[in-house]
Structure 1
């Protein structure tokens, strides 16, 4: 027996090649239209890539910015940053766990009652040093992230200012155009007799 698809899914599978192509074109256009609306209404960057599967492998792309490549590069850098942060946090937690295990083993091996005060202070200092290093690394990563966000904010503010200037210029040009459409008025001077 084959895989049983739900009734709705069975209806969506289009058998005729020509019908599939027509449906693909219509839905692709609607998808691009919706992506464009999303980018305008929500003021977000949107990019999409569609590769047809009809043998030609034709590539269709949409981007409300200059290129899909720019959006993909931003996505990749975001994913890498998130991955790096999670790896460092995993490393930090792993390092703490390892230190606790080492300390526990040392206490079990040497019998804690048999340790001198100096040895216990030494173990405590090692733990404190490791914690300080981990916190320092975490703080460093957070500061780098904050710095990146500040740079992005600065760029966005500059872009906003540029857009506001463009908008003001467009309004000014529109006013000048509206005034040029008005019929010229005659200027009359009344002289005293």
Structure 2
């Protein structure tokens, strides 16, 4: 469910009002800084809290912004004659020179120079700008590193996929060779079994002849003649 519409009215609770002011003030000044950088606009903001505390922001300098505002309010937004156009261009040139000087001073301050005469609030603003710049640089560096890592991972993935394909090819070749060897082994076994079955009856007959009972019984003595018996008696 979406959030309900917030009714804009004064907050009665002073503590809650102060917290809301602090949050909205930070967001308001942040948006003003962003629009001045992104759109190259000259922005000046002056805010007084309920306690009378002053908060301001200027893209170049508050004095130049106020001066430009008062002059434009006097002359109007439209330029009527060439003389006013020339004056307007001169003011623009002067404003640009002031902006350039302000940027040069700000650059030196960000580099750590000319900080002796600055107030604590100005130093805090410089610190916040440096932190925002560092965050932006780190984010860009992190994104660049992520893109490099993603390219490396993609390349490594392609290499591993190609190696996987080559391994599958080698495994298929090994399996084919293994199947061929198995077929040869089965054929050799079948041939050996066939030869064994062809010689088996001859061996059985030989074994049967060898193991017949007649070969184990002693032979019966033959009857001798009379002359042989007499000769054996003499010899005995």
- What's the TM-score once normalised by structure 2's chain length? 0.36
The structure, 1 or 2, with the larger RCO (C-alpha pairs under 8 Å, 6+ apart) is 1
- What's the TM-score once normalised by structure 1's chain length? 0.43
